[in-house]
């Protein structure tokens, strides 16, 4: 006899999201242990950790009604991932950023600002993948991204990410809050975000970060 874990599409999507959340927490725990044991370089650790944190924030926001407490979720499934919970829920930034925070405080090229930009890029791209295409969903994300990019003086005024995000924000401002991006618009925005993100990451070594 076949046993189904879900009764409808909505329940199936919920369990898929649970599985993804479980995987992110486990992956973060493994990454933290690898970093502590010097199995992975600080640079590799930071990039991967920023991605996991950004993915986690996007998913946690989606699941806020069904999973109000990440700690309780981890206890329910007996995950035993204290390092991951600390990194994802308590800290919210990679350990390398925490270590540099004091020295970087007040500096326009601080690691914390760079991490903020990376998280805003990935959160925006993830949201589009989750079909969050309403203006009142997209506009705040792009505004946060644009604001974080403007905090970095190492980026020129005509930096690709700044100009493209400014254009998109202006375009969205002319639309109604409940209006949605078309499939073609969403695809173009995701392309622009990905292109800008790659340009941003390429600019970091020259910035001394």
Rounded CA separation 167/60 (Å): 29
Structural class in CATH, domain 9-93? mainly alpha
Q: What are the residue ranges of helices labelled H in 37-110?
A: 42-62, 70-76, 82-85, 95-104
CATH 1.20.120.1130 for domain 105-202? yes
What per-residue confidence (pLDDT) applies to 102?
46
What per-residue confidence (pLDDT) applies to 6?
60
Measured CA to CA in angstroms, residue 175 lies from 74, 122, 168, 208 at distances of 41, 24, 11, 39
What per-residue confidence (pLDDT) applies to 108?
46
Q: Which residues of the chain have pLDDT under 70?
A: 1-6, 100-110, 205-209
Record the tokens describing residue 154, joined without a space.
């190492």
Domain with CATH 1.20.1440.200 in the chain: 9-93
Domain with CATH 1.20.120.1130 in the chain: 105-202
3-class SS of residue 134:
strand
What per-residue confidence (pLDDT) applies to 182?
94
Specify the pTM: 0.53
């Amino acid at each position: 006899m076949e046993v189904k874990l879900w009764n409808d599409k909505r329940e199936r999507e919920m369990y898929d999201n649970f599985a993804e959340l479980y995987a992110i927490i486990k992956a973060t725990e493994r990454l933290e242990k690898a970093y502590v044991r010097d199995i992975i370089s600080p640079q590799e650790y930071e990039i991967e950790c920023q991605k996991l944190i950004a993915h986690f924030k996007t998913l946690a926001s989606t699941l806020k009604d069904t999973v109000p407490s990440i700690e309780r979720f981890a206890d329910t499934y007996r995950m035993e991932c204290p390092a991951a919970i600390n990194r994802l829920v308590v800290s919210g930034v990679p350990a390398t950023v925490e270590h540099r925070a004091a020295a970087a405080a007040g500096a326009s090229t601080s690691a914390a600002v760079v991490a903020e930009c990376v998280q805003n890029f990935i959160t925006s791209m993830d949201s589009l993948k989750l079909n969050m295409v309403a203006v009142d969903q997209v506009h705040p994300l792009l505004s946060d991204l644009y604001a974080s990019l403007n905090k970095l003086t190492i980026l020129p005024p005509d930096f690709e990410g700044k100009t493209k995000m400014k254009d998109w924000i202006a375009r969205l401002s002319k639309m109604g809050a409940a209006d949605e991006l078309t499939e073609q618009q969403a695809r173009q925005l995701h392309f622009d975000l990905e292109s800008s993100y790659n340009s941003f990451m390429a600019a970091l070594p020259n910035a001394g970060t």
